[in-house]
Structure 1
Amino acid sequence: MTDTLSPELLARYADARLPRYTSYPTAPHFSPDVGEAQYRFWLASLPATDASLYLHIPFCRAMCWYCGCHTTVAAREAPVLRYLECLRQEIDLVARYAGSLLSVRHVHFGGGTPTLMPPEQMQLTMDRLKTHFRIADQAEIAIEIDPRTFTPEMATTLGRSGFNRASIGVQTFDLGVQQAINRVQSFEATEASVRLLRSNGVRAINFDLIYGLPGQTVQSCLQTVEQALVPRPDRLAVFGYAHVPSFKPHQRKIDGAALPDSEMRFAQSRAIAEALVGAGYVEIGLDHFALPDDPLAKASANGRLHRNFQGYTTDEAEVLIGLGASSIGRMPQGFVQNEVRLPEYERLVRQCRLPVARGYRFAGEDQLRAAIIERLMCDQHVDLGAVCQGFGADPAKLLAATPLESMIADGLVEREGARLSVTRHARPLVRSIAAAFDAHLSENDRHSRAI
């Protein structure tokens, strides 16, 4: 591959704090102006349609210091059981308005550590979903796994409940780096989890890797990739560590002086990409890799790739129902996010209220810009004329209001009429290019660096 960026371009673009564009507008722009009443109305007005479900389980046995998720440490089982009871009650509440209308083709359990719950609780939760929603026979039912707490009993339950994809958090196999981020996880434990999953019918396996961690080097990244390829996962997501200690106080335990600089982060990300492509994986979008016969690779090749809060996906549904504390849903009219604080989330649900804390109602050019950003993030190119035609917009006027001319001059973007293409060497900076169409963009230290 020829993904080389000059030191000058790295210095100009790499340190900018930008959204990952798993939504547009992004979550910092949500407000309490959208609440329970609005969400209830949006649910009730849904037609019979395809939908996806996301369930957030905000518990772990220990805190990984790099973590940017909404989660908490649960040393006892009681708070987990109390939360799961409320989660199932929220499923009942949502289904009261829209359940029978929705045909579900994607279900995702995230966290936290969803497999921390007792196996019988997982079965109860899946049974509740199947009672209220029409889950398609070929639906993708996925879950995030921490090998350090994964058990044979849970693997059996997942297979029996219809799960067919699992995402395993690896991050790194370098022991020194693991100790620096408070997540010591052996290759043997990870490989054992893969075997357990596959032997119980959960055949599709994803690995999550991270670069830019304290003490990480190009060599340690490549050693991690070499080990990760032994079980031959179907997909790998490779994320740059987002150091935002002002937003996630536990990240203050990470020595900021030990973090790689932008040039080293870029070198790590490209070394990992080259190794995975060399091993037969297809590079997808900004940070995903998949085997050629994986549905994600096929969707990318056919121009049908999408992006949502789980990253790159084959999910084409316009409706995403978020369930659980902090979860975000998407409706045709806008976004809704549940209460983040566990006591408040549980209090609202027990009062038979939808626990929405904030959201965003689409207005103006939001959906037009969202479509452009998604295509850039997914395809590395976009036909502004075709997209604008669908919204009755003028591509020339839209282009005139962007800072793209400087990016074209810098060799990041090529323009032919209203068609924009990200140059091959600028692919790692696609978030910077997408940000040119972000009308809400503001400096926000919650965002990660562009590289």
Structure 2
Amino acid sequence: MTPEIVSRYADRPLPRYTSYPTAPHFAPGMTPERYAHWLAELPPTEPVSVYLHVPFCRSMCWYCGCHTTVTAREEPITRYLESLLGEIAWVRDAMGQTPAVRHIHFGGGTPSLMQPRQFVALMDRLRETFRIDAASEVAIELDPRTLDAAMIDALARGGVTRASLGVQSFDPAVQRAINRIQSFEQTAEAARHLRAAGVTGINFDLIYGLPHQTVDSCAETVAQSLTLLPDRFAVFGYAHVPSFKIHQRKIEEAALPDGAARHAQAEAIAELLQDAGYVRIGLDHYARPDDDLARAFREGRLHRNFQGYTTDACPTLIGFGASSIGRLPQGYVQNSVLIGEYQKRVGAHGTAVAKACGFQGQDKLRATIIERIMCDYRADLGTLCLPYGVDASAVMGSAAGLGEIVHDGLAAVSGNVIEVPEAARPLVRVVAAAFDEYLGKAPARHSRAI
């Protein structure tokens, strides 16, 4: 792509499309009774996935866009976990069944800040509520700076199979600018001890577009990371939204790279990882060729959810914890975001559901089209529209700005098939957004296209 085309699209604010409709279109008013009805209607033989949000950290990273809070004490975490256990019990009763679970993901925050015994107890409660077996993936996000041997042992005893280690950057200047001082040695030790305990799936999270970051510093971080042989990388572009995340105001905006520089950093990282043998997957993931994620990409089985690209094909995701989002056959549900409000609602009702977005019209069809574009860089609308009884040419014709996108080389259209050329893949969200009927219809803060 020419620099002119990159600059034209790179700074456009667009969703990451981890859901469709996206979260800004969720509306208040979801009741416990309605949510219980949705849960009771889940197909009894269909497996589900589970997400648990633990919104606590020891210090605030200034780049962070997650729903989390800082605490130095154990008591707030203990009280929160009591509410989490209560919510799980309520969902179990509402379902009236014990479905199989294919994927469990602990996010945050820093989930490993709970005590080891608390994590084991939480896993025990999940095993009482769901059928978890050796085929189930149990993943957790970790901060190497706070991870200790006792917690690693608890993770192994709890059945964790995959750990995502936050790295972001090893450049000291960047670390100082984002308030996250983390040595290479801390990261290496965490990876080594996790593997020794049996947690063999290791992911690294990197970020580009941070203050004072350069192509050279990105390259050095990748070089150091590769010596630790992670199975997967997730490489995210920093989303600077200081009006939404107040702590981001501590980041010096003048030190942030522009769209062209962000693109150069992202592509430098991509080239180095691919040269090292990793398969580039979708917008921002990389995996070893023999990894399940790489196989799913090759075979057209890749999916996208709130954790990014995944092998998880379950149509139902049940969310637990403050701000968590679930996806059911009827639509999306979201819990209260604030910890205090979450605990109050669980105490009063057993659940903290506050928002919902019921599927309507072409939502499911467009969600599928967007997912295939994001995962495969290609969508055959003729095939995808058929089960819905919808005219594919009409959907293609309604795609917003598609003519300009095709003219600029971001996509090619042949009949009812749309494809993203390899050179344009960093801007795949622009192509996916053409099929988003909701974009621009509600106030929303999105990250840059690159």
Q: TM-score range by the shorter chain?
A: over 0.9
Is residue 181 of structure 2 the alignment partner of residue 184 of structure 1?
Answer: yes
Is residue 195 of structure 2 the alignment partner of residue 198 of structure 1?
Answer: yes
Contact 2:49 2:318 in 1 (8 A): yes
Aligned to 2:430: 432
What's the offset of the Cα at 1:137? 2.2
Aligned to 1:342: 339
What's the offset of the Cα at 1:99? 6.0
Aligned to 2:146: 149
Distance in 1 between the 2:188 and 2:444 partners? 36
TM-score by length of 1: 0.98
Amino acid at match of 1:410: D
Distance in 1 between the 2:249 and 2:76 partners? 26
Contact 1:33 1:360 in 2 (8 A): no
What pairs with 1:386-405 in structure 2 (closer than 5 Å)? 386-402=383-399, 403-405=401-403
Amino acid at match of 1:427: R
Contact 1:35 1:336 in 2 (8 A): no
What's the offset of the Cα at 1:66? 0.2
Amino acid at match of 2:447: S
What pairs with 1:304-343 in structure 2 (closer than 5 Å)? 304-343=301-340
Distance in 2 between the 1:298 and 1:268 partners? 26
Number of residue pairs matched by the alignment: 447
Aligned to 1:218: 215
Per-residue CA deviations over 1:9-56 (Å, capped at 9, x if unaligned) read: 122211110000000000000001433222111001112111000000
Instruction: Select the residue among 10, 19, 39 that pairs with 2:6.
Output: 10
Aligned to 2:37: 41
Is residue 126 of structure 2 the alignment partner of residue 137 of structure 1?
Answer: no
User: Gaps spanning 5+ residues in structure 1: where?
Assistant: none
Distance in 2 between the 1:446 and 1:122 partners? 34
Is residue 86 of structure 2 the alignment partner of residue 89 of structure 1?
Answer: yes
SS in 1 for 2:176: helix
Distance in 2 between the 1:291 and 1:309 partners? 22
Aligned to 2:407: 409
Per-residue CA deviations over 1:335-361 (Å, capped at 9, x if unaligned) read: 000011111111111124311010100
| Cα-Cα RMSD | 1.0
Contact 1:212 1:241 in 2 (8 A): yes
Aligned to 1:22: 18
Contact 1:59 1:73 in 2 (8 A): yes
Distance in 1 between the 2:425 and 2:443 partners? 23
Aligned to 2:283: 286
Alpha carbons of structure 1 residues 91 and 99: separation in structure 2 relative to 1, 3 Å: farther
SS in 2 for 1:137: coil
Aligned to 1:448: 447
Distance in 2 between the 1:101 and 1:333 partners? 20
Distance in 1 between the 2:248 and 2:293 partners? 32
SS in 2 for 1:100: coil
Distance in 2 between the 1:192 and 1:253 partners? 30
Per-residue CA deviations over 1:99-134 (Å, capped at 9, x if unaligned) read: 634110100000000000110000110000001111
Aligned to 2:247: 250
Amino acid at match of 1:7: P
Contact 1:284 1:300 in 2 (8 A): yes
Distance in 2 between the 1:32 and 1:81 partners? 28
Deviates more, 1:265-274 or 1:398-407: 398-407
Contact 1:369 1:438 in 2 (8 A): yes
Amino acid at match of 1:429: L
User: Gaps spanning 5+ residues in structure 2: where?
Assistant: none
Distance in 2 between the 1:124 and 1:446 partners? 37
